[in-house]
Amino acid sequence: MKKMSIKIIITLIIFILLVWSSKTSSIGELVTIREVSSNEMVIETMIKEVKTIKIPSNLANIIDENKQYHDKYYIKYTTNIWGKPKLKQIKPMLDENS
């Protein structure tokens, strides 16, 4: 009985890990930043979709300050079905007129 319980628990853990990894994806988009708070930013994609992305708190001030100099940013973030998207990379796009 004890061996059977251990096998069931191990199988369940493996199943949960497989589901978790299959539902996590990485996305890159060209966006406009609408708002920045201490741990989130609101973005608008090129197709006018508005999303809220979690950001590291140490980046919030930097992103907010740069917002006045850059209109568009290229961001990469991860998504899963259990929470808000999380920022992995952000890069300001240079203006064509500069």
Domain locations in the chain as residue ranges: 25-92
- What pLDDT sits at residue 96? 58
pLDDT at 97 over 70: no
Assign domain 25-92 to a CATH class: mainly beta
Our measurement of the distance from residue 34's CA atom to the centroid of its chain's CA atoms, rounded to an integer in Å, reads 16
Among candidate residues 78, 76, 75, 77, the one with its CA nearest the CA of residue 24: 78
What is the per-residue pLDDT across 52-76, written as a single tens digit (0 to 9) for each? 999 988 887 787 766 666 788 999 9
- What pLDDT sits at residue 50? 95
What is the per-residue pLDDT across 14-57, written as a single tens digit (0 to 9) for each? 998 887 776 778 899 999 999 888 899 999 999 999 999 999 88
Q: 61 vs 11, which has greater pLDDT?
A: 11
DSSP tag of 11: H
- What pLDDT sits at residue 95? 63
